Amino acid sequence: MNYKWRKKPIVIEAFQMTKARRWDNRDWPEWLNRAWDLNSGTVGALQVTEGDRELLEIVTLEGIHRITWDDWIIQGINGELYPCKPDIFEKTYEQAT
């Protein structure tokens, strides 16, 4: 039996969150602004971290995921959002044309 699998080639949208971009959302993609506008606690919401208004987190079906500076925020194929560490992002994704 073969236990090896390869990811299907898909195109995702991603945005790297830096400390500067946290406070200036002019470069945020529309899908990230929509997530910011969702009510806190709603699945798919981008929200401030309780106890530290500087930091951000994403509410997912699996729970709350904290975003640290330089993490990539990915919009998946079903519109879901999740963070990805820069080193994993670099190993997993390449820029689409």
Per-residue model confidence as pLDDT tens digits over 59-84: 998 999 999 999 999 999 889 999 99
pLDDT band at 50, cuts 50/70/90?
confident
Domain map of the chain by residue range? 13-92
Query: Taking the chain, what is the end-to-end CA distance rounded to the nearest angstrom?
Result: 36
Pairing state between β 81-84 and 13-16? unpaired
The count of C-alpha atoms lying within 13 angstroms of the C-alpha of 19, restricted to the half-sphere facing its C-beta, is 1
* Tokens read off for 34: 């929509």
User: The whole model's pTM is what?
Assistant: 0.88
